[in-house]
Chains A and B, each alone.
Chain A
Amino acid sequence: MSRYVIKFSKEGYIKFISHLDMLRLFKRSFKRAGIKLQYSQGFNPHPKMSFAQPLSLGYTSSCEYLEFETMESHSTEEIRRLLESMMPEGVEIIKCEELAAEGKALAALTEEASYEIRIPVKDITKLKNPSTLAEDYLSRESITIKKLQKKSRKEIEINIRPMIKSLKSIVDNNNIMLNARLSAGSTENLSPEILLSTFCKFADIDYDRADIQLNRTGIYFIDEFIKI
């Protein structure tokens, strides 16, 4: 049994494929490539394969991670090459690395993720201090949002400020470009959608969600995890 991780990008129309459909795509691709995955035991065996972080439908990404266990050992370059040839337009397999057989799952190691967000603005001159928007947004002690708790159905207030690790904004023609690094993973997670809506509200930007482009630029793991 061997354990690997691949890094891949997702661009173009393929961004309209959901997380679950990506899983199915990889499942079929391994089959076609003749790479036999290890299956879980039990009544409903499924291949041992998972993403470090789910990616929402509509997001592009330059760094997605998929880990999986195979029955036989392969060279990492062979896996990369085989999978690359199976991928639809828009998915590029950038790298493949072998992982320690008994390591923690990448999902459990994920700590932060970074995003690039492009927000078209109708009239940039109407914005107050467009050059310092990010600093002004972050300068507040707390940024609270209301969230409905799943179990109790109670509305609670959450301060998202600590979950924003960094935020930069630049004005690019008629766009505001945001570079954000946010908490991600099972312990603490901030969706870039929340950042986007609170930011636009703060900056008084009127926006149509369908006009906004979101690209995941990085996923960061706890510890000195193998940099791939």
Chain B
Amino acid sequence: MTIQEKLDKLFLRVEKPARYIGGELHTIKKDPFGVSTRFGFAFPDTYEIGMSYLGLQIIYHLLNKLDYVYCERVFAPALDMDGFMKVEGIPLFTLETKSPVQEMDILGFTLQYELSFSNVIHMLELGDIPLRSKDRDHSYPFIAAGGPCAYNPEPLADVMDFFMIGDGEELLIEVCEAHKNWKVSGRGKDAFLEDISQIKGVYVPKFYQPVYSEDGTIKEIQKLSDRAPDLVEKRIIEDLDQADFPENTIVPFIEVVHDRAVAEIFRGCTRGCRFCQAGMIYRPVRERSKEKIKEIATNQLHSTGHEELSILSLSTSDYSEIEPLVEELMSVCKDNNVSLSLPSLRLDSFSFKVLQEIQGYKKSGLTFAPEAGTQRLRNVINKSITDEDIYGAVEKAIELGWNNIKLYFMMGLPTETYEDLDGIAEIAKNITDINYKVTGKRGGRFNVTISISNFVPKAHTPFQWVPQDTVESFREKHRYLKEKLKSIKGVSFQYHDTDPSQMEAVFARGDRRVCNALIKAVELGCKFDGWREHFKYDLWKRAFQETGIDPDFYTYRERNLDEVLPWDLIDAGISKEFLISENKKATEGIQTQDCRKGCVGCGINRKVTCSREGTL
């Protein structure tokens, strides 16, 4: 039986078979044997999650525009399918042609969150592909990775043949072009890696070798190839209006997490929150023009028939022409009978006007992200929202009829004390008081949700040196806050599990050695770690024990500012001096202004023209 025949039978046994069939609107059909580069775009999670990721749509369409490339999609099969595939001997396959991933020339993973690393390993296993780069000869595809987690590539350095750092629009095309040329040249695998190591943004781990000190820290990173660059600079698309953006996005048959048309309005963020990796690595801020956004939105709605339009960025309200943009998009939506969804809107009077109009009587919840319970701690993390901002907006919201308020906080932030937790409870209490003041009622349908995530220090941020809070401390803090909030009527409390946050921390700042634990954990059965019901902490603990790796070294250890960090050879554009200065200002509780108000000297202007440069 061929894969196809076996699959036909399997599809009747599994849940949501449409996850695996392909053939959706705007998918591309090509003759796989008529191209020089078969590129498997792998998303290490289920179809519904992967298909909600805009990057996939961008890359899929820009690669398939090249006549010599065929880009096909690969997702992690859900557990039921996974089990059947093993029993039936069906290797991991692409959706477009149901080809085994082994037949790809390049299999590229997108790394969106650290807890998907186990799925990367597991998917290679399912594809019958040796896990380590050194064990793969010329008969296997090149295995590559990109995305935000590639900014600390080291935990997967032994697995990947190469990483692509930064914006992918130009970089991927250059890599595929190099592949096409290499293929006709008939040279060996290493020759290709050497070729692409010359492309800005490509990191080939085998050309570098970390040397460790006795205390386990990195002494130096040795370069093993003369041609490899000393530092790998991230790629930056300077003009978003010129960048490829798909209008014929793939429309899934089944409902996925984000089932809608979407236009990216800008990349980067000017706010400079010190915990936020995205805010650092996606600099500088680059806006797409209002006209271009409108054009994309209109064309995408026409070509897909979607019922909802959304815009994407790190902070919607910071778009310089947000009011005219939203008004124009509202009219586009009205014309097309679709709804508009505006994520991460700052709640000022304009937003309320808009929300009133687009949500009407169907009011969704309102969300705030103060991140910390006191002004002191918000100064430390450089989050500019104040209590007054929150209370003012909440009062207005309640007056307009909203009765669901959700607040996001982080726990375990540097310098956090129990007073900061009291601050969270106080905010919750004050909000219920505001509701009483406005409506004259307590309880009822009014609800405040306090949602807590656990702080994970990330590479390339001012907090890249700080220790993570311990598991015990997190547990005690959760318990403390839960107790405090229990006595306030109408307040519910949610928090993330502690153990996955610890694993996330190991891989966010891990070096090459943690890879052994990762591979071991997958061997023991870890996968889908980002899914609460699938995360198996006991297996992770065993994996660390059996490989002799101490997770505490990566999580709880405070690094010296002059320590060589595993990701030091990745140049994310911002200067280390800036990160150090931000780190010091954090300790002193001094805020740094939003760089829309004036340049703060992050160093990105050394790489590209930054619209904030020279402003004061």
* Residues in A lying within 8 Å of B, measured CB to CB: 13-14, 16-18, 21, 24-25, 27-32, 43, 57-58, 88-90, 209-211
Contact = CB atoms under 8 A, between A and B. Distances in A.
Given A16-B11, A210-B12, A32 B304 contact: yes
A88 B25 contact: yes
A58 B102 CA distance: 29
Contacts, number: 56
B305 A27 contact: yes
A198 B13 CA distance: 21
Contacts of A24: 255
Contact of B9 (A28, A31, A89, A210): A210
Contacts of A14: 21, 23
A13 B18 CA distance: 8
B347 interface: no
Nearest to B12: A210
Nearest to A58: B12
B313 to A, nearest CB: 26
A28 B17 contact: no
A163 to B, nearest CB: 25
Interface string B200-237: 00000000000000000000000000000000000000
A64 to B, nearest CB: 16
Interface residues of B, number: 25
Interface string B297-312: 0000011111100000
B24 interface: yes
B306 A28 contact: yes
Contact of A25 (B10, B22, B253): B253
Given A28-B304, A28-B306, 12 more contacts: A14-B23, A21-B18, A21-B254, A21-B255, A28-B25, A28-B251, A30-B305, A32-B303, A32-B304, A32-B305, A210-B9, A211-B9
Contact of B17 (A25, A31, A43, A57): A57
A16 to B, nearest CB: 4
A133 B361 CA distance: 60
Contacts of A16: 11, 17-18, 21
A209 B255 CA distance: 26
Contacts of A43: 361
A17 B305 contact: no
Nearest to B17: A16
A88 B24 contact: yes
Contacts of A21: 18, 253-255
A14 B17 CA distance: 10
Interface of B: 9-13, 17-18, 21-25, 251, 253-255, 302-307, 336-337, 361
A17 B18 CA distance: 6
Contacts of A57: 17
The 9 closest A-B pairs by CB, nearest first: A28-B305, A31-B305, A16-B17, A32-B305, A210-B12, A13-B21, A17-B253, A210-B9, A16-B18
Contacts of A25: 253
A13 B22 CA distance: 9
Contacts of B251: 28
Contacts of A18: 18, 254
Contacts of B254: 17-18, 21
B48 to A, nearest CB: 13
Nearest to A34: B302
Contact of B12 (A31, A89, A209): A209
Contact of B302 (A13, A32, A209, A211): A32
A91 to B, nearest CB: 11
Nearest to A25: B253
Contacts of B306: 28
Contacts of B24: 88
A14 B27 CA distance: 14
10 contacts: A13-B11, A17-B18, A17-B254, A21-B18, A24-B255, A28-B305, A31-B307, A31-B336, A90-B23, A210-B12
A211 B8 CA distance: 9
Contact of A29 (B18, B23, B255, B305): B305
A27 B307 contact: yes
A57 to B, nearest CB: 7
B23 to A, nearest CB: 5
A90 B21 CA distance: 12
Contacts of B304: 28, 32
A210 B13 contact: yes
A29 B253 CA distance: 12
Nearest to B303: A32
A58 B17 CA distance: 9
Contacts of A28: 25, 251, 304-307
B261 to A, nearest CB: 11
Nearest to B98: A13
A29 B305 CA distance: 6
B305 A13 contact: no
A218 B24 CA distance: 27
